[in-house]
Structure 1
Amino acid sequence: MNHLSHHVPASARVRARALGIVVGALPTGHLNSITDVEGVLVGHSTIDNGADLHTGVTAVVPTQLTAARPGLPAAVHTGNGHGKLIGSTQMDELGVLESPIVLTATLSAFRAADALLTYLMARHPDGLSFNPLVGETNDGFLSDIRRRPVTERHVLDALEGASGGLPLEGCVGAGTGTTALGFKAGIGTASRTHLVDGIPATVGVLVQSNFGGVLTVQGTPMPVEQVIGEQDHDEPSGNSCMIVVATDAPLDARRLGRLARRAIFAMGRVGASYASGSGDYAIAFTTAPPQLPLLPDDAINPIFTAVMDAVEEALLNSLLMATTTTGLRGRTRHAVPYVGPLRPTLGSGRRGAF
Structure 2
Amino acid sequence: MNPFRLPLRLGVVCCLLLWSLPAEAQSTQARPRARDLGITFGGQSGPNNAITDVSGVEVGHTTLISGDTRGPRGKGAVRTGVTAVLPRGKDGVSEDVFAAIYALNGNGEMTGSHWLTESGQLAGPVMLTNTNDVGTVRDSVISWAMKRGLEWELGLPVVAETWDGLLNDIYGFHVKATHAHRALDSAKSGPVAEGSVGGGTGMVCHSFKAGIGTASRKLPESEGGYTVGVLLQCNYGARHLFTVEGVPVGEEINDLRPCYTGPKKPSPGMFKDLPACSASRGDTQPRTPEGAGSIIVVVATDAPLLPHQLERLAKRVPLGIGKMGGLGGNSSGDIFVAFSTQRLKPPTGTDVAGVSTLDNERMTPLFEATIQATQEAILNSMLASDTMTGAESSRVYGLPQDRLIQVMKKYGRLAPPAP
Q: Same fold (TM over 0.5)?
A: yes
Say whether 1:311 aligns with 2:374.
yes
Match of 2:55 in 1: 38
Q: Which has the higher strand share?
A: 1
Match of 1:230 in 2: 282
The letter of the residue matching 1:258 is: R
Match of 1:14 in 2: 32
How many angstroms apart in 2 are the aligned matches of 1:201 and 1:194? Answer: 5
Q: How far apart are 1:343 and its partner, in Å?
A: 1.8
The letter of the residue matching 1:284 is: A
Say whether 1:83 aligns with 2:137.
no
**Secondary structure, counterpart of 1:171 in structure 2:** coil
Deviations 1:223-277 (A, max 9, x none): 2762534367413685100000000000000000001010122111111132111
Deviations 1:116-157 (A, max 9, x none): 111223333573872100000000011110111000000000
Match of 2:268 in 1: none
Distance 1:265 1:121, change over 3 A: farther
Match of 1:29 in 2: 46
**Secondary structure, counterpart of 1:113 in structure 2:** helix
**Secondary structure, counterpart of 1:177 in structure 2:** coil
The letter of the residue matching 2:169 is: D
**Secondary structure, counterpart of 1:235 in structure 2:** coil
Q: How far apart are 1:292 and its partner, in Å?
A: 4.7
Say whether 1:113 aligns with 2:138.
yes
Say whether 1:264 aligns with 2:318.
yes
Matches within 5 A, 1:67-146: 70-125=95-150, 127=152, 130-146=155-171
Unaligned runs of 5+ in 1: 1-5
Contact kept in structure 2, 1:137 and 1:238, CA below 8 Å:
no
* Larger Rg over CA atoms: 2
Comparing 223-232 with 316-325, greater Cα deviation is found at: 223-232
Contact kept in structure 2, 1:244 and 1:283, CA below 8 Å:
yes
The letter of the residue matching 2:288 is: D
How many angstroms apart in 2 are the aligned matches of 1:242 and 1:341? Answer: 25
Unaligned runs of 5+ in 2: 1-6, 11-27, 70-76, 257-280, 345-353
The letter of the residue matching 1:111 is: T
How many angstroms apart in 2 are the aligned matches of 1:120 and 1:183? Answer: 37
Q: How far apart are 1:69 and its partner, in Å?
A: 6.2
**Secondary structure, counterpart of 1:284 in structure 2:** strand
Q: TM-score, normalising length from structure 1?
A: 0.91
**Secondary structure, counterpart of 2:218 in structure 1:** strand
Distance 1:305 1:106, change over 3 A: same
The letter of the residue matching 1:37 is: V
Superposition RMSD on alpha carbons, in Å?
2.6
The letter of the residue matching 2:40 is: V
